[in-house]
Amino acid sequence: MNLYLQLFLTFCKIGAFTFGGGWAMISIIQREIVERHKWIPLEDFLDLLAVAQSMPGILAVNISVVVGDRLRGVKGSICAAIGTILPSFLMILAIAIFLTPETIKNNAVVSRIFKGIRPAVVALIIAPVLTTARAAGINWKTVIIPVAVALLIYSKIPYISNPIIYIVLGAIGGYIYLVWHGYHGSNGEERKEVDTDA
């Protein structure tokens, strides 16, 4: 199968069968691009995930653009992005035309369907969090960092609860850690020495 078509169909499936937004999509994206197609290794996927989350825009679209670019350049990015966006666009268009908020509230069948989807969405969000934490090497010693950041963001304290602060601090902290220790990677093995003058 043509790789452009494969990119389009793969991300079309991701966009069509994922409910709950960005985090709920991660497990399906990982299964498709890392495990099934083996387009990128897991370590690169985790880095890609961090970059996609810290950039403006939809998480799934950001990931699709980078994966498409890595495989087939700009054309690959366009195919993957369209594949991700198209199913959601068509579904939202259909809902906007045929399902008003009143219809959802008053129709018992539709209302029950949406109530049934909610717990599944929670599971879809929790699963990639655990998988990502394990793959990133987070353990009982380092779990304090994500827990503390989550609590500070949840606190709603002005300025302190702004996620942008923690994205910037995380990037700076990671760079300092990399330079200080002279290695990179979650496995703790020594890697190439970093040139601090570059």
- The answer to whether residues 148 and 127 belong to one domain is no
pLDDT of residue 92: 82
- The answer to whether residues 106 and 184 belong to one domain is no
Which of 117, 136, 155 is the last residue before a domain boundary?
136
- The answer to whether residues 98 and 175 belong to one domain is no
177 vs 155: CA distance, rounded Å: 27
* Structural domains of the chain, count: 2
- Whether the per-residue pLDDT at 147 is higher than 60: the answer is yes
- The answer to whether residues 103 and 153 belong to one domain is no
Q: Output the CA–CA distances (angstroms, integers) from residue 139 to 5, 53, 103, 126, 178, in the order listed.
A: 40, 22, 47, 17, 19
Which of 136, 153, 186 is the last residue before a domain boundary?
136
- The answer to whether residues 107 and 19 belong to one domain is yes
- The answer to whether residues 67 and 51 belong to one domain is yes
What residues make up the domain containing 39? 3-136
99 vs 193: CA distance, rounded Å: 58
- The answer to whether residues 8 and 95 belong to one domain is yes
- The answer to whether residues 106 and 154 belong to one domain is no
Which of 90, 111, 136 is the last residue before a domain boundary?
136
CA atoms within 13 A on the CB side of 167: 11
- Structure confidence by residue, pLDDT tens digits, 101-137: 777 777 778 778 877 877 777 776 777 677 667 766 6
pTM: 0.62
- The answer to whether residues 161 and 193 belong to one domain is yes
Q: Which residue has the higher pLDDT, 105 or 149?
A: 149
